[in-house]
A and B are shown apart, each in its own frame.
Chain A
Amino acid sequence: MSVSDKNKLLEKMQERVNLIFKDTDCGAILAKGLSMKPDDIINMVTDSGLRGRGGAGFPTGIKWRGAASASGNKKYVICNADEGEPGTFKDRRILDEQSDKVITGMAICAYAVGASEGYIYLRGEYNFLKDKLQSNCDRWNKIFNSKGINFSVNVRSGSGAYVCGEETALIESMEGNRGEPRNKPPFPVGAGYMNEPTVVNNVETLAYVATIIEKGADYFKSIGTKDSMGGKVFSVSGDCSVKGVYELPLGMTIEEFVNIFGDGDTKAVQVGGASGVCVPRKNFATTVIGFEGVPTGGSMMLFNSSRSMYHVLKNFLEFFEEESCGQCTPCRVGCQQLLKGIEAIRAGEKPMSYLDELRKLAATMSVASKCGLGQSVASPFNSITEHFREEICY
Chain B
Amino acid sequence: MTTNKSLSEAIAKHGTRRESLLPVLQYVISKERWLKEDLLEDVAAAFGMSPSEVYGVATFYSFLDTEPRGRYVIRVCRTISCDMAGKSAIIDALKNELKVGVGETTPDGLFTLLETNCMGWCHQGPAMLVNDDVYTELNPESVVAVVQKYRNMEKQ
Instruction: Give chain A's interface residues, CB within 8 Å of chain B.
Output: 83-89, 91-92, 123-128, 156-162, 173-180, 194, 235-240, 243-245, 274, 301, 303, 307, 311-312, 315-316, 318-319, 322-323, 325
Contacts and interface: CB of A to CB of B under 8 A. Distances in A.
Contacts of A123: 120
B20 A128 contact: no
Interface residues of B, number: 35
Contacts of A179: 60-61
Interface-centre pick from B26, B29, B60 (highest chain A CB count, 10 A): B60
Interface string B43-87: 000000000000011001111100000000000001111011000
A156 B23 contact: yes
A295 B21 CA distance: 36
Interface stretch (B3-11, B99-107, B122-130, B143-151): B122-130
B108 interface: no
B117 A162 contact: yes
B19 interface: yes
Please report whether the interface of chain A is mostly helix, strand, loop or mixed according to DSSP. Answer: mixed
Nearest to A124: B63
B134 interface: yes
B122 A125 contact: no
Closest 3 pairs (CB-CB, A-B)? A176-B21, A159-B61, A160-B63
Contact of B122 (A89, A128, A178, A319): A89
A188 to B, nearest CB: 16
Interface of B: 18-23, 25-26, 29, 56-57, 60-64, 78-81, 83-84, 116-123, 125, 129, 132-134
B114 to A, nearest CB: 10
A191 to B, nearest CB: 16
Contact of A89 (B26, B29, B121): B121
B120 A175 contact: no
8 contacts: A87-B122, A128-B133, A161-B61, A162-B117, A176-B19, A180-B60, A243-B123, A315-B83
A86 B62 contact: no
A381 B113 CA distance: 30
Nearest to B25: A159
A173 B80 CA distance: 27
Contacts, number: 116
Contact of B117 (A84, A158, A236): A84
Contacts of B123: 89, 235-237, 240, 243-245
Given A160-B62, A176-B20, A312-B80, A125 B56 contact: no
Interface-centre pick from B23, B62, B64, B119 (highest chain A CB count, 10 A): B119
Given A85-B118, A235-B123, A178 B57 contact: yes
Contacts of A176: 18-22, 57
A161 B60 contact: yes
A83 B132 CA distance: 16
A238 B80 CA distance: 8
Contacts of B80: 86-87, 238, 274, 301, 312, 315-316
Contact of A315 (B79, B120, B122, B133): B79
B60 A178 contact: yes
Contacts of B116: 125, 160
Contacts of A237: 81, 122-123, 125
Contacts of B63: 124, 159-160
B22 A159 contact: yes
A157 B122 contact: no
A92 B61 contact: no
